[in-house]
Amino acid sequence: MEIHDKIVNRIAEELNIKETQVQKTIALIDEGNTIPFIARYRKEVTGGLSDETLRELGERLTYLRNLEERKQEVKNAIDAQGKLTEEMIISLENALTLAEVEDIYRPYKQKKKTRATVAKAKGLEPLANIILEQTETIPIEEIAKQYINIEKLSEEDKKNKDKVVANVEDAIAGALDIIAENISDDPKYRKQIKRICYKEGIVSTKATKPEEKTAYQMYYDFSEKVNHLPSHRILAINRGEKEEYLKVKLEKPEEKILNFIASDMIKGNTQFTAMLQATIEDSWKRLIEPSIDREIRSDLTEKAENQAIKVFGKNAKALLLAAPLKGYTVMGFDPAYRTGCKIAVIDETGKLLATTTVYPTQPQNDIEGAKKELKALISKYQVGIIAIGNGTASRESESFVSEMINEMDQELHYAIVSEAGASVYSASKLATEEYPDINVSLRGAISIARRLQDPLAELVKIDPKAIGVGQYQHDVNQTKLTQSLTGVVEDAVNEVGVDVNTATPSLLSYVAGINKTIANNIVKYRDENGKLTERKELLKVAKLGKATYEQCAGFIRIPDGKNPLEITAVHPESYQITENLLQKIGYQKEELLDKAKLKEMKAKLAELKIPETAKELDVGEMTLKDIIKELSKPGRDPRDEMPKQILRADVLKFEDLKEGMILTGTVRNVTDFGAFVDIGVKHDGLVHISELSQNFVKNPSDIVSVGDIVKVKVIGIDLDRQKVQLSMKDV
């Protein structure tokens, strides 16, 4: 089987899709197409694979190609030593991971100085082979005498321990060192030992400071089978060990492992049996066990990191696609104590109207002065919603805002907004460019207000790692995390589409095919030439050629432009088909903007028979369905269908909570062990995985997503630790 075919076959098996889907998708990726473009506009080619599946396919393709490349390098390296055998070639071909390939290569790697390399340099390899064969009847001590070389060495060499075989004991010890390293390097042994350890090994942890109360208390005397350890526990144990609160040990069935090697190596009862048994034990203790421990811990960590990155990606996408709050003037309220609460008022388009600082919290406690100033701003700018950041002093600020709202005649609500990463944005170069004359501390309030208005447009300005919806995101491989999150943000931005005339360079840089340079060039073109009136005008932008245009055009929106189709996701390559479709049902594209006509058009589109119409228009059925969907809701924002932010007027104190209370909350974070829900008190409550549903739940993200509005029951209150346990059963 060709390498390409093997890769196709393996990806198809892993992702449970057809080989033809994999083949065609690889061809599209190799042609330079982006994942959002393939997912949206090449459904007929891929068989409708989702962006998540396509990203996974892309990752596996890179890994498997690297694997094949490494196999070839190893094959060439062993062949150059003249030691490549047919058996080795087969083993390499069958290796499924890079770790397996490295195990095969291990015996042939150039080694640093070891006891075995020193023994080989002394010429003791033939003696090691005699012991291994176990057929010699002459006492080994007699044979070993032949390898004593002290008399043959120069005076200078006699001073060098690495060259001297002084006596029989030296000779035999050196030969056994060679055998110990051979055992350790044998891929057959390593593979089976790993298998035994994964099946029967136990990870156990002990406290280094048992008297100290820490977040790792459940691991102070803990053990669990290697193959049962969930990802979040692996990462928690790793962190506890790194912070020196935990000692971690991998317990293995040592006797079983030693017996396995002995049964393969030792041939009956001979003069060599005892020394080989001792050598097997030495090889295990000194060479195999430490490296197996490292490899298993590393494998577990990699598995846990991949899972954590997956969870973070899902959460980040849900947060980015949260419903925008349109049509309101919003007051951003960034809480603080000593330095005062920073306030920013922005209109419904996100334009800054006013800023100030008030001091309703400790130590000033100027509640009346703060109320007076904020009420004046609320009345002047007709503020409809106050967005309060959830950081330091958030509780006190919420109480203050709630009290103020109750004193006012106009309808006013507040919402708690995650301020994760707001300080990162405030001090960034981007924030300085956006608001050169605004103090750094006030920029956080602007970001908080805008997050409520348009989460996607605001959050793309922040490093995705800083948006605070993961588990152990700072402990995982940062390069992998960045790659994964960049893909997630890209998918979210392209799912929504981008108004090319208002988008910031940050937002434009996530559009399929557009990089930071081109994004800046689009804004520069816009500044110099005014609003773009049609998509093809993008071709006039510096460095934006035909290939980039093909990738990005469908994700760009131009409201009030020349072509009404450009407020939809219909790609320019399908304009003619779309106009033919409209003509078929008796309409022109201009009538998309007429509400009365749109209603009639929608009804007629719904009556169409997809297979016949697709044939008639010479277009794929999936593409036709997408075009009909876009024409039925021109200019629609897919986020409008997402759960809306909970708006509050009254504050709920932790002390008000009672077991059995039913509350409505917003899911703020989803982890492997459950979901954190904001119920309006200072700390989010935890719905443990066992409390998410009456049925068994394997993965919390199958039940809830970040941003979901859920009903929960209070089932546990810990006043000392300010923790709330919640349940979604029976509510």
Most confident of 283-292, 412-421, 713-722: 283-292
pLDDT tens digits for 378-402? Answer: 999 999 999 999 888 888 898 899 9
Q: What is the mean pLDDT of residues 26-52?
A: 96
Check residue 446 and give its pLDDT. 94
Check residue 161 and give its pLDDT. 86
Measured distance CA(467)–CA(444) in Å, rounded: 14
Element (H, E) at 357: strand 352-358
Give Cα separations from 502 to 419, 513, 560, 639 (angstroms). Answer: 24, 19, 12, 18
Is the model's pLDDT at 464 over the cut of 90?
Answer: no
Q: In the numeric block, which tokens belong to residue 421?
A: 């990463």
Portion of the chain with pLDDT greater than 70, in percent: 99
Give Cα separations from 620 to 44, 442, 577, 587, 625 (angstroms). Answer: 6, 52, 11, 22, 9
Q: In the numeric block, which tokens belong to residue 334?
A: 């960034």
Residue with the two structure tokens 């009556």? 607
Which residues face 727 on adjacent strands?
A: 713
Backbone angles phi, psi at 484, to 5 degrees: -65, -45
Give Cα separations from 488 to 179, 315, 492, 495 (angstroms). Answer: 51, 10, 6, 11
The answer for residues whose C-beta is within 8 angstroms of residue 86's C-beta and 6 or more apart is none
Long-range contacts of 113-116 (CB under 8 A, 24+ apart): 114/177, 114/181, 115/174, 115/177, 115/180, 115/181, 116/177, 116/178, 116/180, 116/181, 116/182
Check residue 657 and give its pLDDT. 85
Q: Could you tell me the pTM of the whole model?
A: 0.84
**Band of residue 1 on the pLDDT scale cut at 50, 70, 90:** low
- 697 within 8 A of 703, measured Cβ to Cβ: yes
pLDDT tens digits for 658-683? Answer: 888 888 888 888 988 999 998 877 77
Check residue 608 and give its pLDDT. 93
The neighbour count for residue 142, using CB atoms within 10 Å, is 10
Give Cα separations from 565 to 36, 499, 501, 597, 631 (angstroms). Answer: 19, 13, 16, 15, 8
Instruction: Measure the CA angle with vertex 549, ends 540 and 589; round to 5°.
Output: 95
DSSP 336: -
Tell me: domain 654-727, CATH 2.40.50.140, correct? yes
Give Cα separations from 185 to 100, 108, 275, 283 (angstroms). Answer: 12, 9, 19, 10
Residue type, 42: R
Measured distance CA(368)–CA(674) in Å, rounded: 42
Collapsing DSSP to helix, strand or coil, 44 comes out as helix
Measured distance CA(222)–CA(203) in Å, rounded: 8
pLDDT tens digits for 207-240? Answer: 999 999 888 999 999 999 999 999 989 999 999 9
- 15 within 8 A of 56, measured Cβ to Cβ: yes
Residue with the two structure tokens 């201009």? 590
Residue with the two structure tokens 């409520």? 452
Q: What is the mean pLDDT of residues 323-330?
A: 90
Collapsing DSSP to helix, strand or coil, 573 comes out as helix
Residue type, 78: I
Measured distance CA(617)–CA(626) in Å, rounded: 14
- CA 516 from chain centre, in angstroms, equals 22
Tell me: domain 330-453, CATH 3.30.420.140, correct? yes
pLDDT tens digits for 68-127? Answer: 999 999 999 999 999 999 999 999 999 999 999 999 999 998 888 899 999 999 999 999
Closest Cα partner for 97 from 20, 26, 14, 35?
14
**Band of residue 2 on the pLDDT scale cut at 50, 70, 90:** confident
CATH superfamily of domain region 115-307: Tex N-terminal region-like (1.10.3500.10)
Check residue 411 and give its pLDDT. 87
Closest Cα partner for 498 from 516, 488, 511?
511
- 232 within 8 A of 699, measured Cβ to Cβ: no
pLDDT tens digits for 611-636? Answer: 999 999 999 999 999 999 999 999 88
**Topology agreement, domain 330-453 and domain 654-727:** no
Radius of gyration in angstroms for the set of CA atoms belonging to the chain, rounded to a whole number: 33
Q: Where are the domains of the chain?
A: 3-108, 115-307, 330-453, 560-634, 654-727
In which region does residue 473 sit, left (phi positive, over 0), alpha (psi from -120 to 50) or beta (all else)? alpha
Q: Which fold has domain 3-108?
A: Arc Repressor Mutant, subunit A (1.10.10)
Measured distance CA(318)–CA(643) in Å, rounded: 10
